[in-house]
Amino acid sequence: MPILKSIYDTGSAFAKASLPLAGFFNKKLQLGSQGRERSWDILDTKVKSTIPKIWVHVASLGEYEQIVPVLEKFNRKKYQVVLTFFSPSGYENKKDTKLADVVCYLPIDAVSNVSKFMQLVDPSLAIMVKYEFWPNYLNALKANKVPTLLVSGIFREKMSFHKWYGSWMTSSLKAFQHFFLQNESSLRELKALGFENASVSGDTRFDRASQLIERDNRVTQLEEFIEGKPCLVVGSSWPKDIEVMKSWLVENDKTKNIKVIIAPHEVGEEQIDELEQSLPFDTISWTETRKHQKLLNINTSVLIIDTIGLLTKAYSYADVAYVGGSMGSSGLHNILEAATFGVPVVIGKNYEKYPEAGKLEDLGGLFSVTNPTEFKETMDRLFKDDFLRDKTGMICGHWVNSNTGATDLVLEHLKTIDEELLIS
C-alpha cells in the first residue's frame, strides 16, 4: 500500500524535524532529541570501517536486560558491537555499558536517517529485541542482505500488522532470517502473517535473571537498615504504585514491624523529592546512608534508593517484592529479577500485555492488586502467613530456573552464521 507507506514516511520526517521543538515541553523528549543529535557524532567517531559490525537494537532498559546474555558472548576481537536504544530510560542508564563498543540512540525511522545510519554502521549482523519493528530500517537490512534476527520476540493479535493501517508493514518482516519467540501464541500469530521461519525459544530474561543469584549481592547498608526484620522491596515504582500502598505504608511506619525499600523507576532529584513529600512520615535515602556510612538510630520504616544499580541486590533481601509500572499505564517492569530470588511477587492491575505475569499468577507465585484495600489484604496475608510466603516464593524461584535456556538456542543459531561471532 504505497499511500500508507508515504503517510508513514511523511510522519517520520515530521517527527524528525519536530522532535527538538517537542523537547522544550517534555524533559524525556528533550533527552531523546539531544541524544539523537549526538548519535551521528558518536557513530562517525567510534564506528570502525575496518572491522565487521554487529548491530543490536533495543527499545529500553528491559529489552537491554533481555539481550545481555547474548551480548556477553560476542567476540569483540573479531566484531565491533553497535548498541542502539529508542528510549531515554534505556540509553541514559546504559550508555556506559562495557558490553558494546558503540552506544547511542537510534535515529528516527525516516528514510534519510536510515540511509545515513546504514552507511555509517554497515552491519554484518543485526539483532532486534522483543518487538522493535521499524519498517524503513528493516527494509534497508533486507535490501543489503544483512542477516537479521528477532530475539525474545512477541506477536499479538492486536498489533498493527493485523490492522488495515499497518498491514503494509508486514512485508518488512521479511528482513528477519529467524524469529526466536517467547511463546506459542506468538508463533501462531506470526504464522497467521505468513511466516514459518520461527521457533519458540523462550525469554532470554530468564537466563539473565538466573545469573543474578550467582553474584555477590551483599550490601552492608541494606542489612543495617533492615535489622533482621521482614522486608518489602518495591521495585521500579511510579506515583500510581505508591498511591495504592500509601495508607499501608503509613500504618506500617507506626509500628515499623516491616522494613520497606523503595527503588523508584526514575531517580532524578525532582522525582525523589516528589516521592518523599508524598509520604507523611520521615524516610531516609540511599545517598544519606552513604554520607554517614552507617545507619545509626534511624527511626523510619522506609529507605528510598535514589541511585541506579541497586535494585536487584535489594531484591535479594526481600521477603516480598512489589514490582511497579502496571498500576498505571507505564508498563509492568521486570518481575523475573524479583522472582529469581524466591520471593512472592505483587503487581498492579494492568498486565495483560505481559504473558509472564499471567503465567506466574496461574502458578500461584504472583498476586495482582487493584486498590489500597487489596494491597493491604495481600501484604497482611504474605507477611503473617510464613507457609504461604515460603510456598509462593518457592514457586517463583522454580519458575525462573525451569525456563532458562533461550540464550543457548540463539547462540547455536549465531554459530551457523559465523563461528567467529562468539567467544569460545
Active site residue ranges: 63
- Side-chain-side CA neighbours of 116 within 13 Å: the count stands at 13
Tracing cell 519467540 back to the chain, one arrives at: 181
Q: Report the alpha-carbon distance of residue 184 to residue 270 in Å, rounded.
A: 43
Q: Report the alpha-carbon distance of residue 207 to residue 401 in Å, rounded.
A: 8
For Cα atoms 32, 62, 129, give the angle at the middle one, nearest 5 degrees: 85
Query: Among candidates 108, 84, 106, which has minimal Cα distance to 97?
Result: 84
Residue pair 247/374 in contact (Cβ under 8 Å)? The answer is no
Q: Report the alpha-carbon distance of residue 48 to residue 356 in Å, rounded.
A: 39
Helix, strand, coil fractions of the chain, as percent rounded to 5: 50, 15, 35
Task: Please give the span between the terminal C-alpha atoms of the chain, in angstroms, as a whole number.
Answer: 46
DSSP 315-335: HTT-SEEEE-SSSSSS----S
Tracing cell 548519535 back to the chain, one arrives at: 39
Q: Report the alpha-carbon distance of residue 60 to residue 89 in Å, rounded.
A: 6
Residue 57 grid cell: 537494537
List the beta bridge partners of residue 379. Answer: none
The amino acid present at 304, given as its one-letter code, is I
Residue pair 233/263 in contact (Cβ under 8 Å)? The answer is yes
Looking at residue 259, the DSSP 8-state letter turns out to be E
Residue pair 229/218 in contact (Cβ under 8 Å)? The answer is no
With b for 16 or more beta-carbon neighbours within 10 A and e for fewer, the 150-184 pattern comes to: bbbbbbeeeeebeeeebebbbebbebbbbbbbbbe
Residue 3 grid cell: 499511500
CA–centroid distance for 404 within its chain: 17
